[in-house]
Structure 1
Amino acid sequence: MKKYILLLFFCVYYFSFSIENEIYKDRMRNFVKEIRNNTSKDRIIISQNGNELYFKNNGIDEEFFKITDGTTQESLYYGDVLKFNIATSEEMKNELLKLILPIRKKGKPVFVINYGKGEKKRDFLKKEALKTNLINELLPSFSLNDLYKPINGYNVNDIHNLNEVKNYLCLLNPEKFYSIDEYYQALKNTNYDLLLIEVSYDNVFFTKEQIEELKIKKNGGKRIVIAYLSVGEAEDYRLYWKKEWNKNKPDWIVKENENWEGNYIVKYWNPKWKEIIKQYQKKLDEIGVDGYLLDTLDSYSYFEK
Structure 2
Amino acid sequence: MGGKREVILVIIMFFLGSFKVFGGEVDYRGEMRRLIRHIDAQLPEEYIVIQQNAVDLYYKNGELMRDWLVGIDGISQESIYYGNPEYNSRSPQSYRNLLEKRLKEVRGEGLAVFTTNYTKTLWNSWTSDREAKKSGFINYNVPNREVTQINSKIPYENTEDIEELKDVKNFLYLLNPERYRSKREYIDTLAKTNFDLLVIDAFFKGKALTEKDIERIRYKWNGGRRLVVSYLSIGEAEDYRHYWKKRWNDNPPEWLGEENPRWEGNYVVKYWHREWQEIIEGYIDRITEAGFDGVFLDTVDTYYYYINYD
TM-score (norm 2): 0.89
Match of 1:7 in 2: none
Which of 245, 262, 266 aligns to 1:259? It is 262
Match of 2:19 in 1: 20
Work out whether residues 117 and 128 of structure 2, in 8 Å CA contact, stay in contact via their aligned partners in 1.
no
Work out whether residues 191 and 219 of structure 1, in 8 Å CA contact, stay in contact via their aligned partners in 2.
yes
Match of 2:114 in 1: 111
Amino acid at match of 1:69: D
For 1:119 and 1:279, locate their aligned partners in 2 and report how far apart those are by CA, in whole Å: 42
Which of 156, 159, 162 aligns to 2:159? It is 156
Work out whether residues 140 and 173 of structure 2, in 8 Å CA contact, stay in contact via their aligned partners in 1.
no
Amino acid at match of 2:19: E
Give percent identity, aligned residues only: 40
List runs of 5+ in structure 1 lacking aligned partners: 1-16
Q: CA RMSD in A?
A: 1.5
Work out whether residues 180 and 200 of structure 1, in 8 Å CA contact, stay in contact via their aligned partners in 2.
no
1:93-136 deviations in Å (ceiling 9; x for gaps) = 11221321211122211110001122222322232233211111
For 2:224 and 2:189, locate their aligned partners in 1 and report how far apart those are by CA, in whole Å: 17
Q: 1:254-293 residue pairs with structure 2 within 5 A?
A: 254-293=257-296
Match of 1:134 in 2: 137
For 1:116 and 1:276, locate their aligned partners in 2 and report how far apart those are by CA, in whole Å: 34
3-state SS, counterpart of residue 282 of structure 2: helix
Which of 45, 60, 67 aligns to 2:64? It is 60
For 2:143 and 2:212, locate their aligned partners in 1 and report how far apart those are by CA, in whole Å: 30
Q: 1:215-254 residue pairs with structure 2 within 5 A?
A: 215-254=218-257
Q: Give the drift of 1:64.
A: 2.5
For 1:42 and 1:229, locate their aligned partners in 2 and report how far apart those are by CA, in whole Å: 18
For 1:132 and 1:174, locate their aligned partners in 2 and report how far apart those are by CA, in whole Å: 31
For 2:225 and 2:206, locate their aligned partners in 1 and report how far apart those are by CA, in whole Å: 27
Asked if 1:34 corresponds to 2:38, the answer is: yes
Asked if 1:172 corresponds to 2:175, the answer is: yes
Match of 2:92 in 1: 89
Work out whether residues 125 and 151 of structure 1, in 8 Å CA contact, stay in contact via their aligned partners in 2.
no
Shift in CA distance, 191/151, structure 1 to aligned 2, threshold 3 Å: closer
TM-score (norm 1): 0.91
Q: Give the drift of 1:203.
A: 1.6
Q: Which segments of structure 1 move beyond 4 Å, counting only runs of 4 or more?
A: none
3-state SS, counterpart of residue 189 of structure 2: helix
Work out whether residues 180 and 204 of structure 1, in 8 Å CA contact, stay in contact via their aligned partners in 2.
no
For 1:42 and 1:49, locate their aligned partners in 2 and report how far apart those are by CA, in whole Å: 23
1:38-94 deviations in Å (ceiling 9; x for gaps) = 11111100001221112124322223312101010000100011x111111111111
Q: 1:1-16 residue pairs with structure 2 within 5 A?
A: none
Per mean C-alpha deviation after superposition, the further-off stretch among 273-282 and 206-215 is 206-215
For 1:85 and 1:112, locate their aligned partners in 2 and report how far apart those are by CA, in whole Å: 15
Work out whether residues 257 and 263 of structure 1, in 8 Å CA contact, stay in contact via their aligned partners in 2.
yes
Asked if 1:71 corresponds to 2:70, the answer is: no
Larger Rg: 1
For 2:18 and 2:213, locate their aligned partners in 1 and report how far apart those are by CA, in whole Å: 47
List runs of 5+ in structure 2 lacking aligned partners: 1-15, 21-25
Work out whether residues 115 and 139 of structure 1, in 8 Å CA contact, stay in contact via their aligned partners in 2.
yes
Q: Give the drift of 1:181.
A: 1.5
Per mean C-alpha deviation after superposition, the further-off stretch among 264-273 and 124-133 is 124-133
3-state SS, counterpart of residue 102 of structure 2: helix
For 1:219 and 1:151, locate their aligned partners in 2 and report how far apart those are by CA, in whole Å: 13
Asked if 1:46 corresponds to 2:45, the answer is: no
Amino acid at match of 2:95: M
Which of 201, 207, 210 aligns to 2:210? It is 207
Structure number with higher helix proportion: 1
Amino acid at match of 1:66: V
Work out whether residues 136 and 151 of structure 1, in 8 Å CA contact, stay in contact via their aligned partners in 2.
no
